[in-house]
Chains A and B, each alone.
Chain A
């Protein structure tokens, strides 16, 4: 088990290097350090000296990938790529263009992101599984048929609509909850309720329809017939035998996104004014802040890989047939 995790973590290193390489190339294909400096300094202050100074300050005064002037391993290490990538592996992200420390920002913004994403995830999972089980219990009846139609309708509605409709009706028209904003502690709950509600509702359609398919597939298997042949009631067959098997793909499918919850949701956070990582990312995209975007890409990739490892581990927990080695 330990050897397995260790191996997977080692395997993560080339992937993270690949991720860095990719984002790095993407950004520098058209956007040279000179362009970046010009953009940051603003039209008024652009002089060759100012550009050079900016580049030195931000560490962009070296060759991109390969330093021909240096010798030995410094050929590779004394470059923009290496200087900006190597630090990330110890989670040292440096400063954004606004001069703030990215690491600090991430730490303070994780909380609000999680405050929305985690409840959406947990409640969503519960709601979807319950709804799916309900449809499966009444399978081949009109309840099931209209349940599926409802799911298709729900998943055909744009996520933006849920947010805008939620904000307009619940917050603005009926004044039940604040339209946006965030606060820590107990007081913050009223800010969280609306985004969580919207997040859960937006996910019901596709989620429960997918789970329904999984459960239906299980219900066609031989062991279900055996359970019925034992004389078990339909409810017990469903809740004990089918649910236990069906939850294996559902849980492990959910685990992979678990670490990514830290990243928050871009759209929800920006609509509801949550000071989380999602809105941080959007702001960075719109401000073309390369340092922040790169840090977020790295963080996202890292968390995704952690998610993959967790998926495997959770498999070995919930499915006795899986052994890690």
Chain B
């Protein structure tokens, strides 16, 4: 085993900082009853919990894909190791088969032949035909074995997944039975009736479903290109999975930029009113009035120029793509704080007239303290709702921006780039649909899960919706 050199890209650092912040927040929330209560409500909603599991699966992949390193070159000396210029991630290492099994060009999902005809040697004669793939279905002798092989692999994978989930369920049942001091039968009955205080059925079913799907995918992927290959013969499943990280980074880091701006400006404007309010309102009217895409386009162009004129700072292609991704998050954050700021301003205007704020002022409590103890905690739920609602919009926006050419680096794996690259191939006959299909399917799954989860969070936190529905 060669030694490796860990690489921490900017976005990696921020992602793990974010993860740490979330963990700290969870720890804080667990200690405060009134903060915990709405989360309990979220946890009781089957739809939200199912969505959370799917999100969780995406997040795990994204996190694995954020642990970057450079492998040592095989022929470099041990005392002065040299490292590959290619930056890989733990996820790449786990899926090295997918990554390395590159075909010549397009091939359909689960195919064993290339998509384009070539001159191939057959029985001594040269004929023009679809050549066999180098990896996909290479283990098969004849073409008619393919279908039964696919079925077998799917079943085996699903069964493995099913067994794994049964095992997990057994562990869960054992743990729960010990904890709640119920008889096993009684707990199982309660679970089946859905009378536990958490959506047991949905969670167990969802985990089983995910595991079975994962198992089947893994089985199939070891012998085929499940979603086919793209123009340069790369496995589309691999590209789609790699794109998860991009989507997550854009969805979360952008919000990270938005929040301080929105919270700071929104509360300050609403609480202090007067000229402070005038200036902040001016600022956000200006920003709001510029068509967002144009502003993002302008800023992205600038970053591009900057990267090109400073090649020495960014030593690898990954670092270049990464800084552009970060810049995109930054720009989208700077252009999108206005909505939340406006909401928070309005709410602060209302809160500042409430009696408990008046009472604090009657004690001469300082403004900073009033904001931090009376205003902010009482509009935190709005911030939270905004975070989860914005996430899906940002993931979708990435695709559009990449299509216009002002999104992430063209070399970066992202659903937007996949769509952009595949769009023109729709004109081919027969059509190359799997790249688009895979990108849309992955994006849809992530966004739908995020939206459903956001719904659950909003219902639990928004006092206006409380009790209704």
Contacts and interface: CB of A to CB of B under 8 A. Distances in A.
Whether the complex brings A and B within 8 Å at their CB atoms is answered: yes
B290 A297 contact: yes
B286 A160 contact: no
B426 A31 contact: no
A259 to B, nearest CB: 11
Given A15-B285, A160-B399, A161-B440, A300 B290 contact: yes
B464 A217 contact: yes
Contacts of B298: 23, 26-27, 293
B195 interface: no
Contact of B440 (A30, A157, A304, A308): A157
B77 interface: no
B440 A293 contact: no
Contact of A160 (B290, B295, B419, B431): B419
A77 interface: no
A153 B448 contact: yes
Contacts of A140: 469
Contacts of A297: 290-291, 294-295
B392 A156 contact: yes
B31 interface: no
A255 interface: no
Nearest to A17: B286
Contacts of A118: none
B328 to A, nearest CB: 15
Interface in B278-323: 282, 285-291, 293-295, 297-299, 301-302, 305-306, 309
Contacts of A304: 288-289
B167 to A, nearest CB: 32
A172 B363 CA distance: 72
Contact of A301 (B289, B299, B306, B423): B289
A266 interface: yes
Nearest to A305: B289
A248 interface: no
Nearest to A219: B468
B399 A285 contact: no
B286 A300 contact: no
Given A164-B436, A293-B297, A297-B290, A15 B400 contact: no
B contact face: mostly helix, strand, loop, or mixed? helix
Interface in A1-31: 14-15, 18-19, 22-23, 26-27, 29-31
Contacts of B405: 285-286
B1 to A, nearest CB: 42
Nearest to A298: B290
A277 to B, nearest CB: 10
Contacts of A253: none
A14 B286 CA distance: 9
Contacts of B282: 14-15, 18
Contacts of B248: none
B271 interface: no
B256 interface: no
B290 A282 contact: no
A304 B285 CA distance: 9
B323 to A, nearest CB: 14
A316 to B, nearest CB: 20
Give the interface centre of B302, B403, B423 by most chain A CB atoms within 10 Å: B403
B443 interface: yes
Contacts of A23: 290, 294-295, 298
Contacts of A153: 448
B404 A285 contact: yes
Interface string B67-96: 000000000000000000000000000000
Contacts of A263: 291
A27 B304 CA distance: 12
A287 to B, nearest CB: 11
B440 A282 contact: no
Contact of A158 (B299, B309, B399, B423): B399
A41 interface: no
A193 interface: no
A167 B424 CA distance: 12
A296 to B, nearest CB: 6
B380 interface: no
A251 B124 CA distance: 75
B289 A31 contact: no
B286 A15 contact: yes
Nearest to A299: B291
B108 interface: no
Contact of B406 (A158, A216, A285): A285
A-B CB proximity, top 10 nearest:
A156-B448, A301-B289, A300-B291, A18-B286, A304-B289, A156-B447, A285-B297, A30-B305, A26-B298, A161-B440
11 contacts: A15-B285, A19-B286, A23-B294, A30-B302, A155-B451, A161-B440, A164-B436, A267-B403, A296-B291, A297-B294, A308-B285
Given A158-B399, A285-B405, A296-B291, 9 more contacts: A26-B299, A27-B298, A29-B302, A156-B448, A160-B399, A160-B419, A285-B293, A293-B297, A293-B298
Interface of A: 14-15, 18-19, 22-23, 26-27, 29-31, 35, 140, 152-153, 155-161, 164, 167-168, 172, 216-217, 220, 260, 263, 266-267, 270, 281-282, 285-286, 288, 293, 296-297, 300-301, 304-305, 308
